[in-house]
Amino acid sequence: MPVYVALLRAVNVGGTGALPMAELKGICEGLGFEHVRTYIQSGNVVFLSDESEQAVGEKLDEALAKKFGKKPGVMIRNRNELQKIVDEAPFPDAKPNFLLVNFLPDMAPADALEQMVAPDGEEAVISGHEIYVHYPIGSGKSKLKLPALKAGTSRNLNTVRKLAEMAAAMEDGS
């Protein structure tokens, strides 16, 4: 059975997108996903399902729309895709918490970086459905403008590594 990682957009600890991870787990279990595990309070969930990547993403987005009144956006990656994202991360000298992986619902536009305004020395690399961004001063202080990121959700490399580990352990039956 495939292992999937769902990365929710616009879900956080407070504000209008607040969703306790226990509730997210319950929603996923209610959809028939198996061995559901969440990771930190930012909308990360690892689970098993016989359904396709597209089907699980649509089901979860619809279920969350019932709670929030609109679809928050769900990016689904399978275990192998997530491991590849970790393995191919650029900027090897960057602090992992200053390197964000932006998960997009579709392929990143080829010209996405042409619109980038990086006043603090930010660097970005497009790789399929992801855009990696290195924030030398941290993302919280950055004034980066990159419109292509708006459709997706981002996680720092430490979080992506942990999710990849969780997915690998689930696939191995741990």
Structure-block tokens of residue 144: 């980066």
Residue 167 domain flag: no
Query: What is the model's pLDDT at position 70?
Result: 87
Residue 55 domain flag: yes
Is residue 174 predicted with pLDDT exceeding 80? no
Report the C-alpha gap between 63 and 160 in whole angstroms: 24
Q: Which residue has the higher pLDDT, 74 or 68?
A: 74
Q: Based on the fold, state whether residues 66 and 17 are members of the same structural domain.
A: yes
Query: What is the model's pLDDT at position 12?
Result: 62
Whether residue 101 contacts residue 89, with contact meaning beta carbons closer than 8 Å, is answered with yes
What is the value of pTM for the model shown?
0.93
Domain that holds residue 76: 3-81
Is residue 10 predicted with pLDDT exceeding 80? no
Parallel, antiparallel, or unpaired: how do β-strands 99-103 and 153-156 relate?
Answer: antiparallel
Query: What is the model's pLDDT at position 13?
Result: 46
Parallel, antiparallel, or unpaired: how do β-strands 44-48 and 74-78 relate?
Answer: unpaired
Q: Based on the fold, state whether residues 70 and 118 are members of the same structural domain.
A: no
Query: What is the model's pLDDT at position 16?
Result: 57
Query: What is the pLDDT averaged over residues 87-115?
Result: 96
Residue 173 domain flag: no
Comparing 7-21, 35-49, 114-128, 160-174, the range with the smallest average pLDDT is 7-21
Residue 174 domain flag: no
Digit-coded pLDDT (tens) for 13-70 = 455 567 888 999 999 999 999 999 999 888 899 999 999 999 999 999 999 999 888 8
Report the C-alpha gap between 15 and 131 in whole angstroms: 26
Q: Based on the fold, state whether residues 116 and 54 are members of the same structural domain.
A: no
- Helix (H) or strand (E) holding 84, with range, is helix 79-87
Query: What is the model's pLDDT at position 90?
Result: 97
Query: What is the pLDDT averaged over residues 99-115?
Result: 95
Examine the fold and report which residue of 39, 55, 81 is the final residue of a domain before the chain moves on: 81
Examine the fold and report which residue of 60, 81, 102 is the final residue of a domain before the chain moves on: 81
Computed from CA positions of residues 5, 55, 12, 96, in that sequence, does the dihedral angle turn out positive or negative?
positive
Percent over 90 (pLDDT), the chain: 83
Whether residue 41 contacts residue 8, with contact meaning beta carbons closer than 8 Å, is answered with no
Examine the fold and report which residue of 40, 55, 81 is the final residue of a domain before the chain moves on: 81
Residue 166 domain flag: no
CATH code for position 55: 3.30.70.1280
Residue 172 domain flag: no
Q: Based on the fold, state whether residues 75 and 48 are members of the same structural domain.
A: yes
Q: Based on the fold, state whether residues 71 and 32 are members of the same structural domain.
A: yes
Percent over 70 (pLDDT), the chain: 95
Query: What is the pLDDT averaged over residues 127-137?
Result: 97
Q: How many domains does the chain have?
A: 2
